[in-house]
Structure 1
Amino acid sequence: MIKIEVKSFNELTTKELYDVLQLRSEVFVVEQDCVYQDLDGNDEKAFHILGIKNNRIIAYTRIFKPGDYFTDASIGRVAVAKNERRYSYGMDIMKASIKAIHTHFKETTIKVSAQTYLREFYKKFGFKAIGDTYLEDNIPHIAMIKK
């Protein structure tokens, strides 16, 4: 079981921010062998969904209100520590992220830019693929919308 916390950028402690950036780097840069600019200037606009287990952030997303990233509300940077994935914490952090969008933004339409191999994962939450696949940081992605 993980504890979920939702925080604005300014509510994050320095340690939490460090742990979030470390997890994102582990998953998106090291594990996926993808050199890209993770610090994109958007974290300050986002709410950060933290999945905490044994005082460690092991799951994470960031959410945006409509217009701050995409036209619709959105979820991004979905990450779960590799050694914690077998516990379905990805499901927990996504459910919490969808709920946070409803709570904080009063929105039901949500967009994700999904890595194509995770299409079925996002379908479990009601997301539907729209458009063609595209490369983002040399990784195949597809836009998906939940209404």
Structure 2
Amino acid sequence: MTLKSPPGTIVQRLSADPANLTGVRRSVREQLRAWGRADLAEAAALCVTEILTNVHRHAGSPECELTLDRLPGGIVRVAVGDRSPVLPVKAPAPDWTAERGRGLHLIAATAYRWGATPTASGKQVWVELR
């Protein structure tokens, strides 16, 4: 469900269910192409997948809100807000053979910038791509 948003902003409430990830990635790619930023579509899809997987595994509730913003200078900001106040922490060195623990390293390697911000209802994890 897309919510009413200012121009250049897309907000969608969704469930961080692994069964939904394919559709969310497709929607993110399509929106970036519509904005003329096909060059960032795959990076955005990867970051959204990693963030939503963390919501599914760690937030305690799958309910979240995905926001896509076009920022000045050609930057695209992708953010996922969830109900958990626990901020993500990037491990010092991932075990690249493990099934878990690499997500934030992938995000850091892909994004121009990334971070997490506490909110009144939990937190928002965001990435900026350029």
TM-score computed with the length of structure 1 as normaliser: 0.29
TM-score computed with the length of structure 2 as normaliser: 0.31
